[in-house]
Structure 1
Amino acid sequence: MKSLGSIRNDFAPWREPQAQPFIRFEAITKRFGQFNAVDDLSLSIFKGEFFALLGASGCGKSTLLRMLAGFETPTSGRVILDGDDLAGIPPYRRPVNMMFQSYALFPHMSVAKNIAFGLKREGMPKGEIAARVEQVLKLVKLQDYARRRPDQLSGGQRQRVALARSLAKRPKVLLLDEPLGALDKKLREETQFELTDLQYELGTTFIMVTHDQEEAMTMADRIAVMDKGRIVQVATPAEIYEAPKSRFVADFVGDVNLFDGTVQAVDRGRITLQTSAGSPFTVTSDVAVSNGQAVTFVLRPEKLRIAAEPLSGANVLEGEVWDIAYVGPVTSFHIRLANGAVVKVAMINATRESPLQLTWHDRAWLQFDEDAGLVLTA
């Protein structure tokens, strides 16, 4: 399949048949009583990858991370890291480190002492500890804050101290459990790029757990979308967004319009659908379908055009402006069709003054190209 979106051109080992995974979860199941938190899950992660486990609360993503760290024991299955089976190896002997959402910094210790704590516990000589602490402080750009205590730092600075402490022991894998959840939106967005750049510079394998779709899309090389203890799709962020394999993934990641449809005709890659929008769609798709088959048509809001005057051609919908939200880069419209269905449209605000003068209860016309959406059979 043609690559979707931007990825590091020099890094896509999952597409190379000869590449060996660095981490393997092999048929992993974890039960708590009668509840399967992780259910017969298999997954491969490659060395140097920034990998995200994405899903709603209770989907099993944190449990999977904790089994890699050694804080939970699989009910069945194996966890392999760099060729070694981790069964029976306690957390402190595993070549992984975990950074928690709470940061868990010692309030009475300075930044430097917080970072040095784990190194002292391992018996590293004082001179080496000092050099390592200085190195990681420079790495996270906190060398001028070494003597401060955590309560004298901002939230973003405390996050970087926790990161420096996690990296000081030079783990093979860094585990991040909702690492940016405690930060405000603007700082979180800035820190996402800082973490991504740092991971690329170090080449360390990062595995992140998050329920924040934007966070996963921004930071990860690949994303595993999880639901009810299973993985439903693993792909790059662009592939997850533009080519979801199921209705669940399409609905979970990003904003979307989902139309229930029935195939009316198929002609050399062009499909005619009768849909829940109340009018037929003509779309192009390489999915194998037959007349009368029930499908889902996926259409992202930004793929639609909106106008205040009637539009001609195929795939035109007419409705009433039901809601409007101006959010800076885009204006979001909810258009209510004659049959009661609501279609979401996102219009980029390319100029300071919008050329489209639409307000609540105005008539509006929508249109999309034949290749703008996706036909799903699952």
Structure 2
Amino acid sequence: MKSLGSIRRDFAPWLDQAATPFIRFEGVTKRFGNFDAVDDLSLSIFEGEFFALLGASGCGKSTLLRMLAGFEAPTEGRIVLDGEDLAGIPPYRRPVNMMFQSYALFPHMSVEKNIAFGLKQEGMARGEIAERVDQVLKLVKLETYARRRPDQLSGGQRQRVALARSLAKRPKVLLLDEPLGALDKKLREETQFELSDLQYQLKTTFIMVTHDQEEAMTMADRIAVMDKGRIVQVATPAEVYEAPNSRFVADFVGNVNIFEGVVRSVEGERVTIETTAGFDVVATSEVPVAAGQSVSYVLRPEKLRIAAEPVPGPNVVEGEVWDIAYFGPVTSFHIRLNNGAIVKVAMVNATRQGPLQLTWHDRAYVQFDEDAGLVLAE
């Protein structure tokens, strides 16, 4: 079995039935009063994996991270790390370290002293501390900033200091709570690749909590999509995007068209769906469906083509250009159908001038292939 889509490295221990998970959440529930922040959750994470917990605010992802760190205790279930049940082990004795969104740097200390602080608390010898600090400074490329204070650094540099301090103790697992949330968009994009490359170099297990889909898709080997204290899907970024296992995941991750409908005919894997949007879809279904069954048809905007003139073939939808947004690499069109339904189309701007000249209220024709979307049975 091979993972869907491109991957950063040849690393997929979850596909090996004989592989032993490094971290296991076994039937874990965390209850605050009458509210279940985490609800009977089980999850396996492998050594050396960059794993992302992705979900909206309040879905339980940070609570899960805090239980692994030891800041919260499970109400039910257990957490096992490298074969050891973590129940009753205080945070400072767990082989994990946590990097917070705020970075929590000491403002009166230099960069090197911030990094050395935790090592001094552990009673490490002065020479060993100096050597370890020097190693992590080189790792995050901040050697020339060792004597500066945090207020003399940029946001990206402070983020690297916090990362260096977290790595200095050489934890078995590094926990990242919204690690790039304080950075501006361009710096965040650059840092995503740097952090991903650093994790690959260190082979340390990273577990990241984020609500940013792009962040999770860029950095993680696998993503767990969470909702209301439960895990909805665990898969590689490409699988979560291209093969969501539910309407919720399809709608939560990325931009998407979702058309509700009823199957009218089935010929092998080829199905015809009458949608509530007012048009029929001829599609290839990866799941068995039957005539008369209610289904959802999931179609990513970049899988569609748009034209100013009628085009032949099945799966052609006509409408009016209702909205246009230019993003540089792509132009997003919202096409309004006669019944008011909206179809979203993303067109790559492959040339500087762009061959397609469409403006508001023009008639437009949208077409897509039979295997462009995904049929989800309900």
3-state DSSP of counterpart to 1:48: coil
Q: How does 1:128-139 map to 2 (within 5 A)?
A: 128-139=128-139
Distance 2:16 2:324 in 1: 46
Q: Distance in 1 between matches of 2:359 and 2:308?
A: 10
> In the alignment, what sits opposite 1:199?
199
Residue of structure 2 equivalent to 1:56: 56
Q: Secondary structure at the match of 2:312?
A: coil
**Which position in structure 2 is the counterpart of 1:173?**
173
How many corresponding residue pairs?
A: 378
What is aligned with 1:97?
Answer: 97
| Partner SS for 1:157 | helix
Q: Which amino acid aligns with 1:369?
A: D
Pairwise CA distance, 1:276? 1.9
| Superposed CA offset, 1:69-122 (max 9, x none) | 000000000000000000000000000000000000000000000000000000
What is the DSSP-based 3-state SS (H/G/I as helix, E as strand, rest coil) of the residue aligned with 2:104? Answer: coil
The verdict on how the C-alpha distance between 1:216 and 1:110 changes in structure 2, with shifts beyond 3 A counting, is: same
Residue type of the alignment partner of 1:247: R
Alignment map for 1:207-222 (pairs within 5 Å): 207-222=207-222
> What percent identity do the matched residue pairs reach?
82
- The 8 Å contact of residues 261 and 295 in structure 2, kept in 1 or not, is answered as yes
Q: Deviations over 1:217-252 (max 9, x none)?
A: 000000000000000000000000000000000000
Deviation at 1:285, TM superposition (A): 1.3
Q: How far does the alpha carbon of each residue in 1:14-72 deviate from its partner, in whole angstroms, 9 at most, with x for none?
A: 00001000000000000000000000000000000000000000000000000000000
Q: Tell me how far 1:141 sits from its aligned partner.
A: 0.1
Determine helix, strand or coil for the equivalent of 2:225: strand
The SS at the match of 1:180 is coil
Higher mean C-alpha deviation, range 181-190 or range 2-11: 2-11
Distance 2:300 2:139 in 1: 39
Counterpart of 1:17 in structure 2 is: 17
Residue 108 of structure 2 corresponds to 108
Q: Structure 1 CA distance, aligned partners of 2:2 and 2:242?
A: 12
In the other structure, the counterpart of 1:125 is 125
What is residue 268 of structure 1 aligned with on the other side?
268
1:289 alignment partner in structure 2: 289
Q: TM-score, normalised by structure 1?
A: 0.99
What is the CA–CA distance in structure 2 between the aligned matches of 1:273 and 1:3, rounded to whole Å?
29
Q: Alignment partner of 2:64: what SS?
A: helix
The alpha carbon displacement at 1:8 in A equals: 3.9
Amino acid at match of 1:248: F
1:228 to 2:228 alignment: yes
For residue 354 of structure 1, report the CA deviation from its aligned partner. Answer: 0.9
Match of residue 35 from structure 1: 35
Partner secondary structure for residue 196 of structure 1: helix
Q: Secondary structure at the match of 2:199?
A: helix
Q: Which amino acid counterpart does residue 367 of structure 2 have in structure 1?
A: Q
Q: Distance in 2 between matches of 1:104 and 1:3?
A: 38
Residue 182 (1) aligns with residue 200 (2): no
Determine the C-alpha separation between the residues in 2 that align with 1:171 and 1:367.
Answer: 52
TM superposition shift of 1:2: 5.1
Q: Counterpart of 2:72?
A: 72
Separation in structure 1 between the aligned mates of residue 67 and residue 5 of structure 2, nearest angstrom: 32
| Residue identity matched to 2:260 | D
- Deviation at residue 277 of structure 1 after TM alignment: 2.2
Q: Alpha-carbon deviations, 1:183-224, whole Å to 9, x = none?
A: 000000000000000000000000000000000000000000
Distance in 1 (CA, whole Å) between partners of 2:301 and 2:276 is 16
Shift of 1:9: 4.5
Q: Which moved more, 1:274-283 or 1:14-23?
A: 274-283
**In 1: Cα distance, 2:159 partner to 2:3 partner:** 34
Residues 152-210 of structure 1 show CA distances to partners (whole Å, capped at 9, x for unaligned) of 00000000000000000000000000000000000000000000000000000000000
Task: State the AA in 2 paired with 1:162.
Answer: A
- Is the partner of 1:318 in helix, strand or coil? strand
In the other structure, the counterpart of 1:237 is 237
Structure 1 segments unaligned to the other structure (5+ residues): none
After TM superposition, give the deviation of residue 6 of structure 1 in Å.
1.1
What CA distance in whole angstroms lies between the structure 1 residues aligned with 2:8 and 2:365?
39
In structure 2, the residue corresponding to 1:170 is in which secondary structure?
coil
The 1-side partners of 2:12 and 2:22 are apart by 13
Moved over 2 A (4+): none
CA distance in 2, matches of 1:363, 1:196: 44
- Contact 2:256/2:298 (<8 A) preserved: yes
Q: How does 1:316-335 map to 2 (within 5 A)?
A: 316-335=316-335
Gaps of 5+ in 2: none
Which amino acid letter does the alignment assign opposite residue 23 of structure 2?
A: I
Equivalent AA in structure 2 for residue 190 of structure 1: E
Q: Secondary structure at the match of 1:290?
A: coil
Find the counterpart in structure 2 of residue 373 from structure 1: 373
